[in-house]
Amino acid sequence: MPLKRFREVGTVAERTPMGLWGGRYGELDAIYLSTSARFGGTSRVFRHGKRDPDTVWKSEEVPENAETINKIVDDGETLYAFFETGGETPVISRAIAGGASGWAFDGPSTVDFVGGRGLAAHSGGLLVGGSWYWNDGENPDHRKGELFHGDGSRRIIAPGICWEVLVTEDGVIWEFWHGVAGSETVAQVFVDGVEIESPTHSTSGGEVFLGAVYACGSHEEEVGAPDPNVYRWTGSAWEVVHTTTGIPEHLVWVPRETGDVLYCVAAHPVEVWESADGSEWVRHDEIPELDTGEDHNHTTALGYHDKRVWFAARDEAGTDMRLWVDAGGGDLLLQVI
């Protein structure tokens, strides 16, 4: 039976959402929304505090000229966001405490480094993955994929791109690498340094849920046909557990008081699904099948904060992204400060 729990809050005066992060358990004092400058708009970070009305999202001070500001994570003390190209490092950060809204460059020194979801906090240091000089075919490091770990380099695959990194509760690192069109490299997945088969030719997103790892989508369309499936690692193989009409972009674990839930978000067209066991899925049909437009990057975001789930999506029919929340009240005129 379809669910009807989300209500639309309004719109945000930016074009494309990339990430929503309120802490692994939704425990932060605020939830943060990152955006993209691809196909119009600006790469920014917005903040919505626990005590703010649902319609109030405050613009943070971030460095300029990013192609995208994508995945946001934290290590308990510091917030990190992937700053794709245009900066002196591929990461910006700010302290969680203190109330200051300014973000500064952080992480490994790079000049031209693309990516988006290759970012994770780990006890051994921050994990940052992507690829060098993606659009510069004359550079000797053109499309050299690299995953940094703390002060060192964990892995290099050339050509390649480390697109997604996950860290399990017991500290095991999962690396999802894309193959590169026109090259001999193929998609690869590494678990604690050991290679296993890849579920897709270009995994879009992954998540840890009820002790298992899930992966979805096909981020890089030029490598192969779109993949509308969600996969679960059984310990020896990937099994398909769900299929969407659109292309899955995100998998997000939500620790609800009534039981853990895994969300799946698809784009082009938009779909939002949830599952209590990773096998049976129910759709939120109160969220319309928006046309987000085709992109080799993300056009939606979903995050958990203060016992509520937030969802944002690009709408090709309008100029601003649209925003939903699954509980609470408020007006429909969004205030961006």
What are the pLDDT digits (tens) for 192-209?
999 999 998 889 999 999
Helix (H) or strand (E) holding 273: strand 271-275
Residue 26 phi, psi dihedral angles, 5° rounding: 75, 20
Q: Is the dihedral of CA 151, 74, 187, 276 positive or negative?
A: positive
Token pair of 318, please?
């309008």
**Strands 321-325 vs 308-313: parallel, antiparallel or unpaired:** antiparallel
3-class DSSP state of 220: coil
**Confidence bin at 100 (pLDDT 50/70/90):** low
**Strands 335-336 vs 56-59: parallel, antiparallel or unpaired:** parallel
What is the pLDDT at residue 180?
Answer: 82
**CA–CA gap between residue 328 and residue 254 (Å, rounded):** 17
Number of residues in the chain = 337
**CA–CA gap between residue 82 and residue 311 (Å, rounded):** 19
Token pair of 48, please?
């919505």
How far are the Cα atoms of 11, 20, 38, 60, 273 from residue 56, in angstroms, in the given order?
A: 11, 15, 24, 13, 26
What are the pLDDT digits (tens) for 265-295?
999 899 999 999 999 999 999 999 999 987 7
How far are the Cα atoms of 4, 53, 129, 274 from residue 325, in angstroms, in the given order?
A: 11, 12, 31, 14
Q: In percent, how much of the chain has pLDDT > 90?
A: 77
Beta bridge partners of 8: 324
DSSP for 66-97, written as a single string: -SEEEEEEE-SSEEEEEEESSSSSSEEEEESS
pTM given for the model: 0.94
What is the pLDDT at residue 35?
Answer: 97
Q: Is the dihedral of CA 142, 147, 149, 154 positive or negative?
A: negative
Mean pLDDT confidence for 332-336: 46
Higher pLDDT, 138 or 335: 138
pLDDT over threshold 70, residue 325: yes
Higher pLDDT, 169 or 182: 169
- Average pLDDT over the chain reads 91
What is the pLDDT at residue 327?
Answer: 67
Mean pLDDT confidence for 60-85: 96
pLDDT over threshold 90, residue 66: yes
Q: Is the dihedral of CA 163, 17, 229, 209 positive or negative?
A: positive
What is the pLDDT at residue 38?
Answer: 87
